[in-house]
Every structure is written in C-alpha cells, then in structure tokens.
Amino acid sequence: MEKAMTPLFGIGYRRPYREALLARDLPEDFVLEIMGSHFFSNPLDLAPLVERFPVVLHEVMGSLGTEPPGTFDDAWLERMKKVVQIAKPLFVTEHLAFTRSASGADLGHLCPLWMTHASKDALVVRVKKLQDALGVRVLLENIAWPFVIPNADYDEASFLRAICEETGAGILLDVSNVIANAKNFGFDAQKWLDSFPVGHVEQVHLAGSQLHRGFWVDSHDSRVDASSYLLLDHLAKTKVPRAVIIERDGAYPPLEELLLEVARARSICSPSENDSRHNLSNQEVRMP
Ligand SMILES: [Fe+2]
C-alpha cells in the first residue's frame, strides 16, 4: 500500500454547521472542505474556521473545460486568490467539467467534457495557469455523468492520468459518483477502480445519491450508501488519500450524524483503529 501523509477526515462546510463546528471538540485529523465562492463576498468570515481546522478549497465555478484554453473569468480568479490567501488550503479542487459557455453564460450544471486530445491539451493549459495563479496544487474531480460523449480519444481514467502527468495536479476521486456512474451505465465499480490512476488520488468525496426516474443522481441529500464505503475500502488497500470529505447539500442532519459518517470513513482508512474495515456490513460506527 502506498502510504500518504497522515490522512484527514471531515465534512463540506455549510453555513448551518458553523456554530456547532466552532463550539465543539473535534479530532485532530478533522478537516473542512470550503466552497471558495461561498466566501467571495466576505473572505474574512473564513478566519475563525481557518484558525481551528486545516482546509481544502472546493469550487464549481472555475469551469476548467470552457474554451478557449488558458483564459478564466478574471473576476472569479481574483476572488479565488483572496480566499486562498486567507484559507491557505492544502488543495484547490475543481470538476472535470464545464459550467460556463465560451460567451460567459452560466449553464447551471456540471457538463461532461468530450475527452479528445484537443480537450486534454486545453485542460493542461488551464490547470497549469490556475496552479500558477493560486500557488496551490489543483485536484480534478470526476463527475456523475449525465451522459457520455462518444468517439472520445480517452476514457476518464486515461484522461485524468494524462492531465496529472503533464501538470502535477492530482485527483479528487468522488467515490459516490463512481458508484452512480456504475449503476447508470452498467459497469463494475471495483474493476473500474482497478484501472484508475489511484496514485494521483489525493482526496475523496463520499455523498448520498437518489434514484430519479430510473437514473441515479448525485443529490448529496442523504446518507452515504454502503457501496460507496465498500469502494473506499477497495481504494484504501492501494492508496490512502490525504483527505476524505463527506459531502452534504440538503436535508441537513445534526452535525453528530455527519460525524458518524466521518468516523466510518476514518475507520476504513485506518484499519488498525478497529475491525470495521473488514466488517463493512455493520452500519453502527462508534465515535472515536
Ligand atoms: Fe463530489
């Protein structure tokens, strides 16, 4: 097994949890994932969180797949720089997708890329520019595919591998997106992971999904399902990521419930803590 630095475990920060997070004792390995755009209007609101916790920054507005390559929404980039200066994140993460047209229209959704050689070259330029501008390593996140664009030059695994090798970027592997894709498009998630460049995986997302009109959607409004934990366990046999984040974007439970999910992820990635890594059918996880 490749051993990374001490792994961190935490949740995606959302405003309803602010007071509870700042008030309670949390494990030393607790990490917050913060949406940069949530703090664009007042970056100084980050300060109390940054004083307490290590931080990874997540974004959905970077639209790395937008053409032409090498250009950004300048206002977005300037705001990100201010947030990065205060947050001092371990990583900045964005999706392998586009959310904005070349004319600047917000598409309102993570749109998949046509994984061609030209698209790869464009991504390489953008990722390098983003890393240079922010001074932080970028991780690219795999999305839940609404559809797959045919006649591509790469599959997702080889596309990510090529970009990482050319830029020094890493991967944010959304394990639950892999599960959703496997169910929607009919493949074996563990076999898929076996051909994935897991050596580049630095961070993991876990989240709940919902079945909507026969299609699994990454709704982030329910508990992480057992199949996602099983795939995390499969990953951890090869690569323990630097950070594992529970994502929740709706039907917010008490913080304690999310911390139970964090504890379960921790136990999977730290098999010496208890036996739950080898007993994943057991839904009960004790807080450390
Ligand atoms: Fe995610």
Q: How far is the CA of 200 from the centre of ligand 1 (A)?
A: 16
6 Cα–ligand 1 center, Å: 21
Residue 45: name the closest of 83, 16, 90, 92 by CA. 83
The tokens of 277 are what? 């890594």
Residue range of the domain that includes 26: 8-261
pLDDT digits (tens, 9 = 90+) for 244-270: 999 999 999 999 999 999 999 999 998
Please say if the pLDDT value at position 288 is more than 50: no
CA 274 – ligand 1 centroid, Å: 27
| pLDDT attached to residue 286 | 32
191 falls within a domain:
yes
| Count of structural domains within the chain | 1
Ligand 1 centroid–CA 174 distance in Å is 5
Question: In angstroms, what is the span from residue 162 Cα to ligand 1's centroid?
Answer: 21
**Does 125 fall in a domain?**
yes
Does residue 242 fall inside a structural domain? yes
Between the CA of 205 and the centroid of ligand 1 the distance, in Å, is 5
How far does residue 118's CA lie from ligand 1's centre (Å)? 25
Domain of 188, CATH number, reads: 3.20.20.150
At 273 the pLDDT is: 55
Q: Are 206 and 261 in contact (CB under 8 A)?
A: yes
32 CA to centre of ligand 1 in angstroms: 14
Q: What residues contact residue 113 under an 8 Å CB cut-off, 6+ apart?
A: 65, 96, 97, 98, 119, 123, 149, 159
The whole-number pLDDT of residue 284 equals 35
pLDDT value, residue 181: 98
Question: Has residue 176 been placed in a domain?
Answer: yes
